[in-house]
Amino acid sequence: MKTVITYGVFDLFHDGHRSLLERARALGDKLIVGVTTDQYAYQRGKMCLVDPIEKRIENVKKSGFADEIIIEDHHGQKVEDISRYHVDIFAIGDDWLGKFEYLENMCQVIYLKRTPDISSTLLRYSKYPFLKIGIIGSGRVAGRFMREAGYIREIQVPCVYNPRLDNSESLRRFLESHTSVMKVRTLDKLFDQTDAVYIASPHETHFGYAKEALKAGKHVLCEKPMAFSREEAEELFEIAEANDLVLMEGIKTAYCPGFVKLISIAKSGLIGEIVNIESCFTRLTPPGLREWTDLRYGGSFTELGSYILLPIVKLLGTEDLEWNFRSMLNENGLDIFTRLEVSKGDIIAAGRCGIGAKSEGQLIISGTKGYILTEAPWWKTTYFEIRGEDPNYRKRFTADFEGDGMRYEIADLLYRVQGHEGREFKLKKEESVFMAEVFGSFLKGRTENAV
């Protein structure tokens, strides 16, 4: 019996897929088809899959050409599978021509001519046009957004707006680095050329810009904190929902595969009932930056508080929580280090953040049967461990974190704008609203909470 194996994502299953499977099946007596997981597809730059893996597997099955279907989820698996299944022929589309020469010492490699003028990418483009995103703000994070958006082929960034149009060093540097982006002189001009906006301006402007963009009919991805009161956040979501628009807060960790997996494991019961959460994010920020000079919206908590709040909110929810702060202030009244304490009944949580003091950036989730440890930098989760009473017991989970991590939230924005469902759970409306309330209470009491 001659065994053939092939692999693919098989998103938006089409005649090209069907033809490739048919021809691969004709090469032998048995065809094994590896269907690529979302996470492995992300690693290879395919950030905007439409169909969930269950549907993609079902479509391959319905084709009638696959004798066996397996899951492809990591680099090197093709080598393993060829040995495991005693494969005689590895078949793949000729868009991969020459990429699998390393398999030729294990089996015959055949590149199959693809069906012309049809692909999942073309189908996505025809059904879902490019999403044009305008950037408001041109500072550090705007540059990172541009680099990360470049990994998503369905995204275009035509323009950037900075109110200090003719007197902004950050805008000059941004335009020099990203020559395909044009500056616009007004928000109306930016709205005219875009479908969505990414707000990367100073903290205090987030709410105002988000409100203007939503009222102009634009989808919004807004850097954190999106708002500084429950009322402001609720107003933004009300406008978005009334106009069928997507509104997302850009806490990038919330959208990353490793953190999503971590939260799922923590809720699964593997460590028993959760009794304590401790998160920490500190960095020594150079003097002179906005974090040190903005007397109203600078400081450590407004800069990093979203991160230390995130796991607490994801695990404890947003109801029946009590919280308080303790801060160490600089001479100008800004907090250089803040400790947040949150409780829900008998469950206790604490978060620490700082821009002028350094600590170990761990996330620890304690339970009645064990605990989860995610080492620094936990906000870029690539692995975490479950540990128990036995010091020799360590169960490790791994996940991908590509680039700066922003590509995941950008991909989710595109996915939701295209009308797909299923990713809203990563950062829910009520979670953003609650965090806005916490930020409001912090700003109100920063001086009186000082040590």
Query: 128-250: CATH homologous superfamily?
Result: NAD(P)-binding Rossmann-like Domain (3.40.50.720)
pLDDT band at 372 (very low <50, low <70, confident <90, very high): very high
Mean pLDDT of 320-328: 96
Mean pLDDT of 292-301: 94
Q: CA of 179: how far to CAs of 11, 165, 175, 195, in Å?
A: 33, 16, 6, 20
According to the model, what pLDDT value does residue 95 have? 86
Domains 128-250 and 257-400+421-445 alike in fold: no
Mean pLDDT of 162-166: 81
For tokens 């017991």, the residue is 393
For 420, how many CA atoms within 13 A lie in the half-sphere containing its CB? 17
According to the model, what pLDDT value does residue 185 have? 93
pLDDT band at 187 (very low <50, low <70, confident <90, very high): very high
Structure token pair of residue 362: 């761990």
Q: Any idea how long the chain is?
A: 451
More confident residue, 405 or 122: 405
Residue 259 to residue 256: CA distance in whole angstroms: 6
Residue 218 to residue 240: CA distance in whole angstroms: 9
86: CB partners within 8 A, 6+ apart: 3
For the cut 90, the answer to whether the pLDDT of residue 75 exceeds it is no
According to the model, what pLDDT value does residue 220 have? 98
According to the model, what pLDDT value does residue 164 have? 83
Contact 155, 179 (CB under 8 A): no
pLDDT band at 402 (very low <50, low <70, confident <90, very high): confident
- Domains of the chain: which residue ranges? 3-118, 128-250, 257-400+421-445
Mean pLDDT of 401-422: 91
423: CB partners within 8 A, 6+ apart: 255, 412, 415, 416
Contact 438, 227 (CB under 8 A): no
Residue 78 to residue 287: CA distance in whole angstroms: 50
Give the amino acid at 117. Answer: D
According to the model, what pLDDT value does residue 215 have? 98
Residue 446 to residue 275: CA distance in whole angstroms: 28
Segment (H or E) for 329: strand 322-329
CA 302 to chain centre: 21
Bridge partners (DSSP) of residue 93 are 112
Average pLDDT over the chain, rounded to whole?
93
| Fold held by 3-118 | Rossmann fold (3.40.50)
Mean pLDDT of 282-287: 94
According to the model, what pLDDT value does residue 40 have? 85
Q: CA of 122: how far to CAs of 18, 118, 119, 333, in Å?
A: 16, 6, 5, 55
Residue 364 to residue 322: CA distance in whole angstroms: 20
Taken in order 100, 102, 106, 108, is the CA torsion positive or negative? positive
Structure token pair of residue 393: 């017991």
For 328, how many CA atoms within 13 A lie in the half-sphere containing its CB? 10
Closest CA to 281 of 380, 349, 352: 352
For the cut 70, the answer to whether the pLDDT of residue 412 exceeds it is yes
According to the model, what pLDDT value does residue 118 have? 67
Other beta carbons within 10 Å of 1: 7
Whole-angstrom Cα Rg for the chain: 24
pLDDT band at 336 (very low <50, low <70, confident <90, very high): very high
pLDDT in tens, 240-269: 999 999 999 999 999 999 999 999 999 999
Contact 311, 353 (CB under 8 A): no
pLDDT band at 7 (very low <50, low <70, confident <90, very high): very high
CATH-assigned architecture of domain 257-400+421-445: 2-Layer Sandwich (3.30)
pTM above 0.85, yes or no: no
Other beta carbons within 10 Å of 409: 25
pLDDT in tens, 338-371: 999 999 999 999 999 999 999 999 999 999 999 9
